[in-house]
């Protein structure tokens, strides 16, 4: 079945460091891919998405490129801030599904220190 | 923007009792809502898809008699954990479809409800 695998956390970085959180997926067809962020005490928020191969999603300085050849959707940010500390989830939904049902990775905790 | 409200945010109950969690869409109608369960340091596991006016669709391995879902109106879905036991302690999150953008459904998530069964 469809699945999403993320790198183990927590990831601890100093402010202004470069961030990469790896995400790979297994799915039939051409899924849509997402990154969600969960700040402490809050619900998940959509960070960015990509719906077809080679698309690049971007938001708030974060970027991820849909790589079908490597079935990956790695999240990157050039310079992290303390306020980026949160849990990040990679997710997919089948393109053939119109229900919006999401399959999530296990989440990666990011801790940014001043 | 669209807001999904969950209530209660935290609940503690005794083993054997039932607990109801509400998920409301504020300022929009949600024909489809989803219920997830999140374990510590684990991913969100989809439990069921809740459709307004019809029976919920449960994922494989989820006990529908244990986790009762009711979606009686376009703005409210409820999850009732019946005869709760300590292993049901978890973080339950709901979400609702709020739009469609660039070829993908947009979901809005509630802040979650933490259930602790003693």
Q: How far is CA A109 from CA A87, B61, B114, in A?
A: 4, 28, 19
Of A102 and B93, the one with more pLDDT: B93
B10: tokens are 């935290």
Model confidence pLDDT, tens digit, residues B2-37: 889 999 999 999 999 999 999 999 988 888 899 999
Please identify among residues 59-118 of chain B the ones whose CB lies closer than 8 Å to any CB of chain A. 93, 95, 97, 102-112
Average pLDDT value over all residues in chain A: 91
Interchain proximity A44–B4, CB inside 8 Å: no
A54: tokens are 């080679």
Interchain proximity B46–A101, CB inside 8 Å: yes
**From the list A93, A95, A107, which residue is nearest B43 (CB)?**
A107
Q: Is the torsion defined by CA of A93, A96, A97, A98 positive or negative? A: positive
DSSP per residue over B21-44, as a string? Answer: EEEEEESS--SEEEEEEE-TTS-E
Interchain proximity A89–B102, CB inside 8 Å: no
pLDDT greater than 70 at residue B100: no
pLDDT greater than 80 at residue A39: yes
For chains A and B, CB pairs below 8 A equal 65
pLDDT score recorded for residue A99: 61
A43: tokens are 């619900």
Q: How far apart are CA A9 and CA A87, in angstroms?
A: 9
Interchain proximity B102–A51, CB inside 8 Å: yes
Interchain proximity B34–A43, CB inside 8 Å: no
Q: How far apart are CA B82 and CA B100, in angstroms?
A: 34
Of A16 and B97, the one with more pLDDT: A16
Of B102 and A20, the one with more pLDDT: A20
> If you average pLDDT over residues A10-29, what whole number do you get?
95
Q: CB within 8 A of B23, min separation 6: which ones? A: B4, B5, B6, B33, B35, B76, B77, B78, B79, B94, B96, B110
- Residue A82 in 3-state DSSP? helix
> If you average pLDDT over residues B48-71, what whole number do you get?
91
Nearest CA in chain A to B49: A101
């Amino acid at each position: 079945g469809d699945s999403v695998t993320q790198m183990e956390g927590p990831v601890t970085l100093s402010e202004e460091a470069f961030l990469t959180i790896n995400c790979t997926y297994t799915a039939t067809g051409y899924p849509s891919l997402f990154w969600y962020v969960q700040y402490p005490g809050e619900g998940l928020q959509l960070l960015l998405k990509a719906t077809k191969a080679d698309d690049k999603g971007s938001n708030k300085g974060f970027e991820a490129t849909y790589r079908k050849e490597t079935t990956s959707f790695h999240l990157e940010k050039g310079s992290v801030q303390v306020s980026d500390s949160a849990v990040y989830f990679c997710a997919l939904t089948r393109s053939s599904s119109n229900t919006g049902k999401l399959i999530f990775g296990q989440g990666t905790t990011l801790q940014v220190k001043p | 923007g669209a807001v999904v409200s969950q209530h209660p945010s935290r609940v503690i109950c005794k083993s054997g009792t039932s607990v109801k969690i509400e998920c409301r869409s504020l300022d929009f109608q949600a024909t489809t809502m989803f219920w997830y369960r999140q374990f510590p340091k684990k991913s969100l596991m989809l439990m069921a898809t809740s459709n307004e006016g019809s029976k919920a669709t449960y994922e494989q391995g989820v006990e529908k008699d244990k986790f009762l879902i009711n979606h009686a109106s376009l703005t409210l879905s409820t999850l009732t954990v019946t005869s709760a036991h300590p292993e049901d302690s978890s973080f339950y999150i709901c979400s609702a479809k709020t739009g469609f953008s660039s070829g993908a459904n947009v979901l809005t998530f509630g802040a979650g409800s933490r259930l602790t069964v003693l």
